[in-house]
Amino acid sequence: MGYVKNGLGIAVMAAVILLGAASADTAWAGPPTDALKQTIDEVIKILEDPGLKKLDKKKDRRVRLEEVVGHRFNYAEMAKRTLGKEWAKRSPEEQKEFVASFQTLLVNTYIGRIENYSGEKVQYLKETTDGDYAEVKTQIDTGKSIVPIDYKMHNNSGEWRVYDVVVEGTGLVQNYREQFRRIINKESFEALAQQLREKAKGIDAP
């Protein structure tokens, strides 16, 4: 029986959204890069709020982090792209449920890593745009290694939102699409949906 893994892309994306706060060296920036940096600033502000560091405020802090990151990441578009051609075969109800499970999986996977931020630095290297699409190339300096991370973004009603993250050449969407396709081909979409629901429920952000 197949199963849904976390994958390399999501493991790094988990912390990447806020890593820029420590450095913000920008070779060239435009609206997409500015949008990312704005989200990073908001995340750091939440993490550094003394009132939200209290144990009894952990839930409130997490809710606020989810809201800020959710505003920048287009979970629905990510989920759609992970299914590829299979997406069009699903009913609106199935699509809605799949997006919800996929979002829960991503959020529960990376919120804990965001809260474990320890000062890693990011450099914004290059931004390229093509109409309503853009890619922001960055690299993370962990102190021991350099990790290239690229954000693919789409201008959705005036808001630049992330629909994929590529870590060292491996895309989050591609990573999940390959896993999901194997499960669908071997079993069925229904089996994938069930596994995704179970995986999402089974991951509790620390």
pLDDT tens per residue across span 22-74: 444 444 467 999 998 888 778 878 888 888 888 888 889 888 988 988 899 99
pLDDT value for 4: 55
Q: Where are the alpha helices (DSSP H) in the chain?
A: 8-16, 31-48, 58-72, 75-83, 86-89, 92-115, 172-186, 189-202
pLDDT value for 5: 53
pLDDT value for 36: 85
Range of the domain at 48: 8-202
CATH number at residue 76: 3.10.450.710
Confidence of residue 105 (pLDDT cuts 50, 70, 90): confident
Query: Is residue 95 included in any domain, yes or no?
Result: yes
* 3-class state of residue 151 by DSSP: strand
Give one word for 144, left, alpha or beta, with left for phi > 0 and alpha for psi -120 to 50. Answer: alpha
Query: Is residue 3 included in any domain, yes or no?
Result: no
pLDDT at 78 over 90: yes
87-90 long-range contacts, Cβ below 8 Å, gap at least 24? 89/189, 90/189
Other C-beta atoms closer than 10 Å to the C-beta of 68 total 21
pLDDT, tens only, 10-26:
444 444 444 444 444 44
Query: Is residue 152 included in any domain, yes or no?
Result: yes
Query: Is residue 193 included in any domain, yes or no?
Result: yes
The span from the CA of 197 to the CA of 101, in Å, is: 5
Stretch 100-128: mean pLDDT: 79
Query: Is residue 1 included in any domain, yes or no?
Result: no
Token readout for 64 is 């606020």
pLDDT value for 12: 43
> How many separate domains does the chain show?
1
pLDDT value for 203: 61
- Tell me which residue has tokens 């996977």: 109
Query: Is residue 153 included in any domain, yes or no?
Result: yes
Query: Is residue 2 included in any domain, yes or no?
Result: no
Query: Is residue 48 included in any domain, yes or no?
Result: yes
Confidence of residue 147 (pLDDT cuts 50, 70, 90): confident
Q: pTM to 2 decimals?
A: 0.81
Phi, then psi, of 23 in degrees rounded to 5: -135, -65
pLDDT value for 163: 94
